[in-house]
Amino acid sequence: MVRQHVNPLSRFYQLPRPLPPPAELFAQPALPLHLDIGAARGRFLLAMAQAEPLWNHLGLEIRRPLVEAAEADRLALELGNLRYLFGNANVSLECWLKALPPGLLQRVTIQFPDPWFKKKHHKRRVLQPELVLALADALAEGLALFVQSDVLAVIEPMVAVIEASGCFERPADDARPWREHNPLPVPTERERHVLAQGLPVYRVLYRRNGQPPPPLAELQQHVAVTLEQNPEAADNPASDLATP
């Protein structure tokens, strides 16, 4: 199945959309919160919500039809610890994260995001410096940020911007450069598809450290220099195959 991209920089997706607070989303809003950015069709979180009933799980997705389909599945199973929301993470998430009760957000996952290979499209990628800093502000020390992709040209810039922030560290006993196993009890659909073909998945688990976030301009400059030093080729057609 081919990925169906949307342009997050288009005017429609740049409109701020206030996201409801946890008290309006979950039956027990005080449970620890897992945020999955780019939840796609939502089947990963649907399984996670059943595997971890003492957690709340929130999927944010920019493709509205996928959110509607995922919400229909959630409602059919009457899962009070799961919600899916439509929105652009780089537009609507920062204010929502700032309003969270301290310590509520316990885990963030970003898995197999859309590639956007062309250099002129890098601003469309989900993990921009602003989002990294917002996540660093929202996660308490020791809490988890997990990223994975099957495309090196996608995961390497993600790793670069996360590590340039100075706010996240890998567990000392994790393999480098990539973690061998997924630390979560449920794989995504894309992950199963890639592994079934015998292809690699590149994973990194981070923990929030105690360092304060750097100024945004400093992190943006680092990202700009990194892109200049590592120019990427045009589109790779193979990257657009299968579901996320």
User: d(Cα 220, Cα 132) in Å, to the nearest integer?
Assistant: 11
Q: What percentage of the chain exceeds 70 in pLDDT?
A: 81
Band (pLDDT 50/70/90 cuts) for residue 17 is confident
Band (pLDDT 50/70/90 cuts) for residue 48 is very high
Mean pLDDT in residue range 77-93: 94
Band (pLDDT 50/70/90 cuts) for residue 225 is confident
Q: Per the residue annotation, which of 114, 150, 235, 240 is the catalytic one?
A: 114
Band (pLDDT 50/70/90 cuts) for residue 7 is low
pLDDT at 125: 52
Mean pLDDT in residue range 27-47: 97
β pairing state of 56-61 and 82-86: parallel
pLDDT at 116: 40
3-state SS string for 84-127 = EEECCHHHHHHHHHHCCCCCCEEEEEEECCCCCCCHHHHHHCCC
β pairing state of 82-86 and 144-149: unpaired
Q: Does the pLDDT at position 153 exceed 90?
A: no
Identity at 4, one-letter amino acid code:
Q
Q: Does the pLDDT at position 89 exceed 70?
A: yes
| pLDDT tens for each residue of 118-144 | 444 344 455 889 999 999 999 999 999
DSSP three-state, residue 207: strand
Q: Does the pLDDT at position 230 exceed 90?
A: no
Number of helices (H), then strands (E), in the chain: 8, 7
In angstroms, how far is CA 159 from the centroid of its own chain?
12
Q: Is the N-terminal amide bond of 16 cis, ω within 30° of 0?
A: no
Whole-prediction pTM:
0.85
Band (pLDDT 50/70/90 cuts) for residue 244 is very low
CA distances from 185 to 50, 109, 189 (A): 11, 13, 13
In angstroms, how far is CA 102 from the centroid of its own chain?
20
Which of 3.30.930.10, 3.10.105.10, 3.40.50.1000, 3.40.50.150 is the CATH number of 11-231?
3.40.50.150
Q: Does the pLDDT at position 9 exceed 60?
A: no
pLDDT at 4: 52
Q: Does the pLDDT at position 106 exceed 80?
A: yes
Range in 16-25, 133-142, 189-198 with the lowest mean pLDDT = 16-25
CA distances from 211 to 69, 162, 202 (A): 40, 13, 26
pLDDT at 29: 98
More confident residue, 240 or 63: 63
Band (pLDDT 50/70/90 cuts) for residue 18 is confident
Q: Does the pLDDT at position 21 exceed 50?
A: yes
DSSP three-state, residue 201: coil
Secondary structure (DSSP) of 15-83: S--PPPPGGGT-SSTTS-EEEEES-TTSHHHHHHHHH-TTSEEEEEES-HHHHHHHHHHHHHHT-TTEE
Angle between helices 129-138 and 89-98 (to 10 degrees): 20
Q: Does the pLDDT at position 222 exceed 50?
A: yes
Q: Look at the block and give the residue holding tokens 């120019």.
A: 231
What is the pLDDT of the chain when averaged over all its residues?
Answer: 85
Active site residue 150: no
In angstroms, how far is CA 17 from the centroid of its own chain?
18
CA distances from 117 to 89, 127, 150, 244 (A): 19, 14, 13, 16
